[in-house]
Structure formats: C-alpha cells, structure tokens
Amino acid sequence: MLKRSIIIALFFTILMAKASSQTDEIAVETALHSLTDVNIISKQVSYNPYRLEYQLSVKQPVDHTDTAQGYFYQQIHLVHQGFDKPMVMETEGYNGRNGGNELEKILHCNDLNIEFRYFNKSKPDSLRWQYLTFEQATADLHHINQLFRKLYLSKWISTGISRGGETALTYKYFFPDDIDAVVPYVAPMPNDIEDARIYAFLDTAGGSICANKIKSFQVYMLKHEDEVLKKIPFYDLNLHYTSVGGIGQAYEYAVLEYPFSFWQITDLTEKDIPATNNLDTALKHLVSVFGDYTATFSDERNAFFIPHCYMTYQTGYYKYNVKPFAKYLHYFGGQNPTAAFLPPGIPPKTYDPEFEKKINAWLAIKGNNILYIYGGRDTWTACKAEFGASVNSKRFVIFGANHYMARIGNMTPAMQHEFGEALEQMTGLKADFAALQKR
C-alpha cells in the first residue's frame, strides 16, 4: 500500500494539474471567442496525458467571390497543445475526424482537422453544386488559416490522406504562403478523367502471372453472373442501385473494380486468388475484398461520395477497361464506364483537363517543401505527383504498403530518419518518432 504522505502528494499533484489545465482552458476559450466567425460546439478534456480538444464551426461564404450567395458553417476539430507550438492543418477530402494524426504525435503540436465543404455537417441548406469547386474549398482553408494564425504563431504544416492529400496539394497551389510544409499521404493527382496510368499499373502489378490470374478470375465471375445473382443476400438485394443502373450493373462493377481494390485496400497476393473451379469459393473471395456482394455500389453507400464524384470534373479520376471482358458483360460496351457514380438528379459536369494540368505542372517545377508518402502496392500510387530534381521535395514509397498502411509509422528506420531530416530542413522542427509507439 502507498504511504499516506505519498497519497497526499499525488492528490495535490492532480489538483495542481487540473488547476493549471483550467487556466489553459480559460485562455484557449477566451482566444477562440475573440475570433470572428468561430463558434465553440463542444469541448473534451483529458488529463493523462493532458489534451484539450474543441469541436468548432467556422462561418464560410458559399461563394467567396460573392457573399450575397449566403453562408454555411464548416466543421473543424481543434487539438490544443500550446499557443507557442506548431500547427498541423489536416485537410480532409471527405468528413472530418477527431482521431489525430501522425504529425501531431511526432511534433507534439496543435492540430486542426477540417471537414471538406458539402460533406456531412459542413454544407449549406441548399446544395448549389456550382459552388462545389476546389477554388471555393481552398478559399475555405485559407479563411481558417488566416483566423487561427492570429493565435498560433509558430510553423504551419498541412497534411491529408488520399483525397485529403490531394486537397492539401491543391491548397498549396492556390495559397503557397499559408503553409511552411506539406505532408500528403497517398495523394492521387490524376492527369485525366480516365488516367491511363491506372491501366498500366493493373497490367503489371504483381508480375504477368499474377495479372493474368486476376483477369482469369474476373472472366470466371462474369461467366457465372446469372448464378451469382441468385446468391445475392437479402440485404444487398433490398438496396437501391439507380446511380449504376441496377443490381446486375452493380455486380459487374464489382468484378471490374476487383483488381483496383485488390491492390489498393488489401494485403492479398497471387496465392490468395482462388482457382476458378468452385463458384462459392470464388464468390467468398470477391466478397472478402469489398466486404459485401453489391452494396458497395448501392445508392445508400454512394450517397456519402456524391460531392467527391461531382468534383471529378476538376480532379480527374479513373475508369474501368471493359475491352478484355466485352463478350462477358451484359451492361457495358463501347466507352469505359467511370468509377465516379452520380444519381440521375445530378448531371455530371464536362471534364476540364486544364484544372489538374495546371496543378500538376506547378508541382513539377514549383512544388517545394512537400514530403509525399505513397504505398508500394497501392493502385493510386500510379497517379502519384511528379516533380523535377530542382524542386525541394521528397517522395517516400513504402514497400508493400497499401492505401491504409502507407504511414510514417510503417517506414523503415532509415526512411524515417530521412523523412525527419527533410522535415527539419523545411521547418526547423525535430520529429519524435518514438511517439508513434505510444498509445
């Protein structure tokens, strides 16, 4: 048992820590209340270790060039560790999150997680789609940056994962002086609405034997489509599929998507692809990649992605190559179908190749102070950003990592060391990689 004196000392230590944290809370809340357009929604305080978090909303114009179009409130999540510490600006491509990120951990710094406009709670009452553009979305980020720079005066680093990484890079293009360095994870930068680099990747990933085995599996699943549709469970059957045309189309989309997701989100290898002599075994394998039969392509599941799918007219995207499977497909022929699905009530905009072309061209020659992280097996790495030798940026491709495993914590010690040196050169900040091992 602890001695009475030790217990009393611990009690007073806790009291002093709480008193100190209360002073902190007052200072932070006073500062937040001083910012125009910022509202405090909720607060969470942790004491071991001490962590102060706020859910906030920021008033944003629907159109940054014409405030007469009205306003909406954008959701952001603040982790406060000190006004004198750096700020990580986490640019989401979808909904906001509260879980923190690797940079916040290794730099022991503040963090702002910012929900993308038109997602979740960050949208106006009327979704006027003409204002869902990267010009408007990055102006949202700039407004937040300028507000919080009044409080946090140290270095600012932006980061984001996948579409959030693409957002961070596009933000850097439009507002290069807002951020000292960018760390985008698995950020695809397509060069077309049908980026041919995807096809080249899928034709070669895992070697020719593996690529042929994947194609043979797809052919087998298409040949047995009628039988599979009789095995679709009640849950999937009772969803809606108007965006893709019907449940038959949804199944064919699943088979066409299979190789993309095989490399992007799984750790499967050639040995895991079943022989094409047992339909139940093959169907179980297909379902293991998606987690369902056809639900991935349902209206209900795709409702979340509608803003993203709409914006592919600016960002570019990928399609499915139907040529190898033409004689087995019931619903697709001619032009390759897109992987971005919109409901019938939202017509897609004509693709503008100039938008992404100018971003990629700028990154190639002027995209300095960027540390790119990609996964060695991730399909989206085929669309990685390119840059010349004169650009002060680095790319880190983590061997064998998929879209979800391409993280600093999964780098080799040598790669972490190189990453840390580059980050310090760009920002003057030292990384504590041991912090990634702590829970």
154 and 271 within one domain: no
What CA–CA distance (Å, rounded) separates 74 from 39?
10
75 and 152 within one domain: yes
Tens place of pLDDT per residue across the chain (439 aa): 545 554 444 344 434 445 455 678 999 999 999 999 999 999 999 887 778 999 999 999 999 999 999 999 999 999 999 999 999 999 999 999 998 899 999 999 999 999 999 999 999 999 999 999 999 999 999 999 999 999 999 999 999 999 999 999 999 999 999 999 999 999 999 999 999 999 999 999 999 999 999 999 999 999 999 999 999 999 999 999 999 999 999 999 999 999 999 999 999 999 999 999 999 999 999 999 988 999 999 999 999 999 999 999 999 999 999 999 999 999 998 899 999 999 999 989 999 999 999 999 999 999 999 999 999 999 999 999 999 999 999 999 999 999 999 999 999 999 999 999 999 999 999 999 999 987 6
What CA–CA distance (Å, rounded) separates 177 from 40?
28
263 and 117 within one domain: no
261 and 230 within one domain: yes
Which domain CATH number covers 361? Answer: 3.40.50.1820
Residue 350 resides in a domain: no
User: Which of 331, 343, 346 is closest to 247 using CA atoms?
Assistant: 331
Q: Which two tokens stand for residue 158?
A: 């932006």
Angle in degrees, CA 138, 141, 145, rounded to 5:
140
183 and 49 within one domain: yes
Contact (Cβ atoms closer than 8 angstroms) between residue 356 and residue 315: yes
Residue 309 resides in a domain: yes
Residue 337 resides in a domain: no
Contact (Cβ atoms closer than 8 angstroms) between residue 307 and residue 118: yes
Residue 42 main-chain phi, psi, to 5 deg: -155, 165
432 and 411 within one domain: yes
Burial of 60 (0-12, 13-18, 19+ CB in 10 A): buried
Residue 340 resides in a domain: no
Cis peptide before 49 (omega within 30 of 0): yes
Element (H, E) at 89: strand 87-91
Residue 344 resides in a domain: no
What is the tally of helices (H) and strands (E) in the chain?
A: 15, 9
Residue 272 resides in a domain: yes
181 and 71 within one domain: yes
Contact (Cβ atoms closer than 8 angstroms) between residue 261 and residue 253: no
54 and 182 within one domain: yes
* Rg of the chain on CA atoms, in Å: 24
267 and 310 within one domain: yes
Query: Which strand ranges, in their side-by-side order, compose the sheet holding 87-91?
Result: 38-47, 50-61, 71-80, 110-114, 87-91, 156-161, 181-185, 370-375, 393-398
Count of other CB atoms within 10 angstroms of residue 227: 12
Domain that holds residue 169: 35-191+355-437
173 and 66 within one domain: yes
How many structural domains comprise the chain?
Answer: 3
